[in-house]
């Protein structure tokens, strides 16, 4: 059985990132992922931009619409992807659920900038018996899942202590790491503000803050996107050090060993074990997990209630500034 898909928003994550790149090596957009996955049929797309619609139709051989209602009523999809700016997520979800009855909505992150909007999205999907999944795609990367398995087996012992560097706002980019670290370390228990940082023009903000999870504490520290993008985690465990670098392109683990020079001392090994990531094909893994979820199996994807937890904590931090 195949599931029909409509994508609302044909910007970079919707369609643009992998245009012109080889399909066997790069699956970085919703359009390519759903188009190439055997369990899905890409029925159409929606975007207000004429040029994007023309490119989509030429690239994927299906119709692109300017109007959400017309697209959904004509196509009756099983899955709807919402990849438009965050401030329009709630309106889009309302339109979708009024126009059709999808089995699942895949929404771009963050779910919303305002807690009440995020709660409304979650409630609406629950009332319509529609799965709500949020595209925190790092959760389903093979390297991330290997780290999680090591944590669950105690090969990376708890508690951990570390630093997460982020830029471009705590809601926009920092929330990726809030979700990822909840996935690895369990629920957030508390936070302490270190430095308020600055507000960005889009209303996002860049504080330095310590966040305590069930199995460790992480210092979230802000860089400045105008100088360079910054996205990475490093934490130490009683058994070694994990590095999650360049947004997750490189994941490595250094375990501890006895010093050969200084008896009685324990040091980090000079050799690192690399946990293979595959972020260039991240959206493929997302779509594969959605297929499993639609067939009633559990998924590593971020579910609506988990994304809502992230928004609640980000809102508390914002209120503390």
- For position 173, what pLDDT does the model report? 94
Q: Between the CA of residue 67 and those of 7, 8, 12, 58, what are the distances in Å?
A: 12, 10, 19, 19
- For position 131, what pLDDT does the model report? 98
- For position 1, what pLDDT does the model report? 78
pLDDT tens track for 182-191: 999 999 999 9
- For position 202, what pLDDT does the model report? 86
Of 227, 109, 240, 229, whose CA–CA distance to 162 is shortest? 240
Whether the CB-CB separation of 98 and 85 falls below 8 Å is answered with no
- For position 275, what pLDDT does the model report? 96
Longest dimension (CA), the chain: 73
Helix (H), strand (E), coil (C) string for the chain: CCEEEEEECCCHHHHHCCCCCCCCCCCCCHHHHHHHCCCEEEEEEECCCHHHHHHHHHHHCCEEECCHHHHHHHHCCCEEEECCCHHHHHHHHHHHHHHCCCCEEEECCCCCCCHHHHHHHHHHHHHCCCEEEECCHHHHCHHHHHHHHHHHHCCCCCCEEEEEEECCCHHHHHHHHHHHHHHHHCCEEEEEEEEEEEECCCCCEEEEEEEEECCEEEEEEECCCCCCCCEEEEEEECCEEEEEEHHHCEEEEEEEEECCCCCCCEEECCCCEECCCCHHHHHHHHHHHHHHHHCCCCCCCEEHHHHHHHHHHHHHHHHHC
Q: Profile the chain (321 residues) by mean pLDDT over runs of 10 residues.
A: 96 97 97 98 98 98 97 98 97 97 98 97 98 97 98 97 97 96 98 97 94 98 94 97 96 95 92 96 97 96 97 98 93
What the chain holds in terms of domains, given with CATH numbers, is 3-136+284-302 (3.40.50.720), 142-277 (3.30.360.10)
């Amino acid at each position: 059985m195949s599931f029909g898909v409509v994508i609302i928003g044909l910007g970079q994550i919707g369609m643009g990132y992998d245009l012109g790149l080889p399909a066997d090596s790069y699956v970085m957009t919703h359009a390519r992922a759903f188009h190439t996955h055997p369990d899905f049929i890409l029925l159409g797309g929606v975007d207000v931009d004429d040029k994007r619609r023309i490119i989509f139709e030429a690239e994927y051989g299906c119709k692109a619409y300017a109007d959400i209602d017309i697209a959904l009523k004509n196509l009756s999809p099983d899955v709807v992807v919402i990849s438009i700016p965050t401030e329009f997520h709630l309106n889009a979800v309302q339109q979708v659920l009024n126009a059709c009855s999808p089995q699942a909505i895949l929404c771009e992150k963050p779910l919303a900038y305002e807690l009440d909007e995020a709660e409304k999205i979650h409630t609406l999907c629950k009332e319509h018996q529609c799965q709500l999944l949020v595209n925190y795609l790092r959760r389903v990367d093979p390297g991330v899942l290997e780290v999680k398995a090591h944590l669950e087996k105690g090969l990376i012992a708890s508690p951990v202590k570390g630093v997460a560097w982020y830029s471009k706002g705590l809601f926009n980019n920092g929330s990726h790491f809030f979700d990822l670290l909840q996935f690895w370390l369990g629920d957030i228990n508390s936070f302490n503000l270190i430095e308020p940082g600055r507000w960005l023009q889009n209303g996002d903000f860049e504080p330095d803050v310590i966040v305590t999870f069930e199995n460790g504490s992480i210092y979230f520290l802000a860089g400045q996107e105008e100088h360079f993008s910054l996205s990475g985690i490093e934490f130490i465990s009683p058994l070694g050090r994990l590095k999650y670098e360049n947004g997750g392109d490189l994941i490595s683990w250094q375990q501890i060993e006895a010093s050969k020079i200084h008896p009685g001392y324990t040091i980090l090994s000079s050799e690192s074990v690399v946990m293979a990531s595959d972020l260039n094909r991240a959206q493929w893994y997302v779509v594969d997990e959605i297929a499993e979820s639609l067939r009633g199996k559990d998924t590593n994807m971020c579910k609506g209630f988990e994304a809502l937890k992230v928004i609640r904590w980000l809102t508390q931090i914002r209120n503390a500034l």
